Amino acid sequence: MADNSAAAIPLQRRGVPFGLFAVCFALACINAAFFPAGLFSGIWIWGADGLGIPTDFVNVWAAGKLALQGHPALAWDWDVQRRIELDLLGQDFPGYFAWHYPPPFLFVAAFLAQFPYVTAFAGWAYASFIPYALAMRAIVGRGFGLLLAAGFPALFSNMLVGQNGCLTAALVGGTLYLLPVRPVLAGICLGLLTYKPQYGLLFPIVLIATQRWTAFMSASVTAILLALVSLLAFGIDSWQAFVHWLPMFSQAFLTEGKATWWKLQSLFSMVRYFGGSESLGWAFQWVLTAGVAVVLVTLWRSPVRYSLKAAALAVGLLLTTPYLFMYDMMVQAIAVAWLVRIGLAEGFRRYELPALGVIAALQITFMMTGIPLGLAANLIMAALVLARAGSWWRRQPATAEIALAPA
């Protein structure tokens, strides 16, 4: 059942609260200043000692290099990948920076590996920020969305290690922004998101439950075409390698805790962090996932305004995956943007801005101390959305929606 409530016009336009603007401006300035300074001072990407700094992006560049050399299937081989990475960085590092993405993401890796490592790393960090910032601008509906995007705390973690959180947030944000008005384009964004299969559970459930068949079919066709094109480009061996190594990645990260539990921000990892068994962690995670799915279906089938539905789905994606690093928390920025959109049109409730401040503080605290607080931040965000939605489980008259055209 299509939700056309997104066509209504807001009644008024409010100024950005000073506290919200000041915090975003300060964090945006830190992000804007740190990375150029870090690059030239030898604390980002390449060290002052002339050696590469081991971070996540090295596996992207190494996988792309293998693809360019005609050996894409070897990108999933941990030992082969590591040799490429050691040769590139010029120094050893503990553990592995393993490649575990589906073959279509090799297109991105191969493109980036055509450039020198520093150029590819910095270029990826800044170029991927652009679609994310545009999605935030569109959702918020005014220029402040750009500042909110630049000042989101998790952006620092994402850019520091050269991860894909900005691209993920852009595709999630694009899907949700376009869904009511451009379902085909929304489906294309969702199909491109298949390089993050852990986000592939809730979107289909919601689309089917609300009978958004155009977006569902568009996403399916996009995903299939992307898989076929990658099959032609990189061969069947790449898909066989992905399927072969996937259980090993799962064993390493979710059973053995090779990435260390404090780095993950999910309920599953929280249980393991405090000494719980794997089976107990999965039990908690699946109960939470089922609960989130039920809430989302109920919410999306209710007359609640679309902005809250979109925010709920964005934060739900983070709550339902056990494999969640701080850079993945970039998706939370999409949920925040929808809530800010409502606040700027109708006024913020007295507890909302302090709560958003707590969310930011939790992310910053993790970056400074390593204490896994992402789950708490996501739960607070979910509570804010549900509080705005009111009695979303009951039938009630539909409320006015904020226009999706720029305000």
Q: Is residue 87 part of a domain?
A: no
Average pLDDT on 275-288 reads: 96
Residue 217's contacts (CB-CB under 8 Å, 6 or more residues apart) are 187
Q: Is residue 232 part of a domain?
A: yes
* Digit-coded pLDDT (tens) for 53-82: 999 999 999 999 999 999 999 999 999 999
Q: How far apart are the first and last CA of the chain?
A: 27
Q: Is residue 62 part of a domain?
A: no
Specify the number of domains making up the chain.
1
| Partners of 52 in beta bridges | 46
- CA–CA distance, 104 with 231 (Å, rounded to integer): 8
Q: DSSP label at 195?
A: G
- CA–CA distance, 295 with 300 (Å, rounded to integer): 8
- CA–CA distance, 326 with 30 (Å, rounded to integer): 18
- What confidence category does residue 13 fall into, taking pLDDT thresholds of 50, 70 and 90? low
The owner of tokens 């965000």 is: 381
CA angle 372, 378, 382 (to 5 degrees): 160
* Digit-coded pLDDT (tens) for 169-209: 999 999 999 999 999 999 999 999 999 998 888 999 999 99
Contact 125, 155 (CB under 8 A): no
Amino acid at 88: L
- CA–CA distance, 192 with 220 (Å, rounded to integer): 10
Contact 178, 189 (CB under 8 A): yes
Per-residue confidence (pLDDT) for residue 396, from 0 to 100: 52
Q: Is residue 234 part of a domain?
A: yes
pTM: 0.92
Q: Is residue 69 part of a domain?
A: no
Per-residue confidence (pLDDT) for residue 192, from 0 to 100: 97
Q: Is residue 91 part of a domain?
A: no
Residue 32's contacts (CB-CB under 8 Å, 6 or more residues apart) are 150
Residue 12's contacts (CB-CB under 8 Å, 6 or more residues apart) are 345, 346
Q: How far is CA 275 from the centre of its chain?
A: 27
Q: Is residue 221 part of a domain?
A: yes
Average pLDDT on 275-299 reads: 96
CA angle 58, 61, 66 (to 5 degrees): 120
- Average pLDDT of every residue of the chain: 92
Domain with 30, as residue range(s), is 5-53+128-389
* Digit-coded pLDDT (tens) for 359-376: 999 999 999 999 999 999
Average pLDDT on 382-406 reads: 67
Q: Is residue 282 part of a domain?
A: yes
